[in-house]
Amino acid sequence: VSVFRRGRLGERFDLDAAAYTSSLDFDREILRATIWVNAVHLKLLCEKGALGSEELEKALKALRRLEENPPEKIDPRLEDVHGLIEKVASEASEKAGGMLAYGKSRNDAVAAAIRIRARERLLQLTLQQLQLIEALLKKALEHVETIFPAYTHLQRAAPATFGFILHGHAQRLLRNAENAETLLNRINLSPMGAAAVVGTSAPIDRLREAELLGFDGVLENALDATTSRDFLLMMLAHLFDSATSLSNLAEEMVVYSSSEFGLIELPDEFSSTSSVMPQKKNPVVAEIARTKSAEVLGELVKAAVILTRLPGGYSLDLQQVTPKLWNAVDELERSFKVMAKMVPSLRVRAEEARKACLPPVGMAEAANLLVKNFGLNFRKAHQLCALIARLMLENELDEPSFQKTLSGFGLGNKLTLREFLEWMEPERIVASYSTLGSSNPREVERMVNRDLKRVGELRMRCSERLTKFEELYCSALNL
């Protein structure tokens, strides 16, 4: 069955051994990219006079048909997509099929196909990530004024706004997304023409081949070009980075929507209930999104462990790395998609959120005002406010106890309790934040609008690259 076996080995390949070693199942992911690589290779051979144009046409036609109608079940004794392609091309033109491995090996071809598919999936994933980021930013814009507590140690820390919290997540996810472009520089290099391991005497123009496949350059050393999968590790690490950002966002949704916090309401369409306890509303989408980071990390670890302790030059171990990447991309893409769908119908329970910002939350800003208005040093002001917070929490704060506390710091009768409590209105506090990047509504508005622009620009760049790749693919296949 296999076109490669004749000669050196008996033609029979044990079926279990074939199924065990075949990559055909997950090669579906790189079918199109591998067809592209083979089409370009044949074209270049034709340009060099090593293949007639009629034979080329026949082979290209067969490859186009294969792409449109990939067989459902493939005999594992064909080994992989490369075996399949050579078989299909040979059936259309024996000469063309027979020339596929002239100056090209499965080793450089598969490395190229993985890079081609990886860059495409990375760009598509980034576009999906941008959908989520945009949803967060738009929601943030709706809520630049909505008072919401910020936490540290998961304890109420300071009054902020819901828009500010959401923008924080969006900023982090956008930083992840922008990294995709740097990563692309690492991925988008051509191993083609490296052949099996040392290069080849066949008439191969590596630079031209790289250009026709949409690569930005070549990976020069043939040995490294065929063996290295570091770009997969980098990409998996990148996916893990984004998955972690997503996980932290999801965790906050779970926490804020719990009855204990009660600060947000997740949409019913994205929640489930209990089969036993009918009062319950479970944040299941957020829970699954929260845990995807673990699944992505699992794929990263698997890939990393396979890649250690390998010698130079292709080994079949390498084949097992690639599906880990596709799994991780699948998981993350689905997560971005469903979260982007859920975010627009998130509801804030504004009254509860504001309540969670009432005194003594915001004491740090009261201390700041004592510094500004009465020249106390901050530590003294902090101590004074700590005593007031304690009175508040013990329900013992009234005008006399307040004045008594002030007197201890030489401020007796300089301020009424009412004035002090007015200082602590959450709206006033939030409006008083004056630093770059604070949760002051005007600042959040500025950041969100700027980031919406960054989203639009990155989306444009990703789409343009995808379109360019698509055009190159079509011209390689004469579509």
Binding site for ligand ARG (CB under 6 A): 23, 80, 82, 106-107, 110, 314, 316, 318-319
Q: What is the CA radius of gyration of the chain?
A: 31
Cβ 319 to ligand ARG shortest distance, Å: 3
Residue 106 vs 292, nearer CB to ligand ARG = 106
Residue closer to ligand ARG by CB (options 106, 115) is: 106
Place of tokens 């186009």: 64
Smaller CB distance to ligand ARG: residue 80 or 120? Answer: 80
Rounded to a whole number of angstroms, the minimum distance from the CB of residue 315 to ligand ARG is 8
The rounded distance, in Å, linking the Cα atoms of 219 and 214 is: 14
Cβ(15)–Cβ(180) under 8 Å?
no
- Minimum Å gap between C-beta 211 and ligand ARG is 24
Handedness of CA 444, 446, 448, 451 (dihedral sign): negative
Nearest to 418, CA basis, from 399, 404, 390: 399
Q: How far is the CB of 307 from ligand ARG (least distance, A)?
A: 13
Cα dist from 463 to 344, 413, 466, whole Å: 24, 65, 5
In the complex, least distance from residue 194 CB atom to ligand ARG, rounded to whole angstroms: 13
Q: Which residues pair with 159 in a beta bridge?
A: 149
Question: For 194, which DSSP code?
Answer: -
**Cβ nearer to ligand ARG, comparing 84 with 357:** 84
Nearer to ligand ARG, 314 or 336 (CB): 314
Q: Which helix (H) or strand (E) holds 385?
A: helix 378-393
**In the complex with ligand ARG, which residue's Cβ is closer, 276 or 316?**
316
User: Between 2 and 247, whose beta carbon lies closer to ligand ARG?
Assistant: 2
φ and ψ of 280, to 5 deg:
-85, 150
Q: Is 478 helix (H, G, I), strand (E, B) or coil?
A: coil
- Separation between Cα atoms, residue 225 and residue 196, nearest integer Å: 10
Q: How far is the CB of 208 from ligand ARG (least distance, A)?
A: 23
Min separation Cβ 229 and ligand ARG, Å: 10
Q: What phi, psi does 394 have (nearest 5°)? A: -95, 5
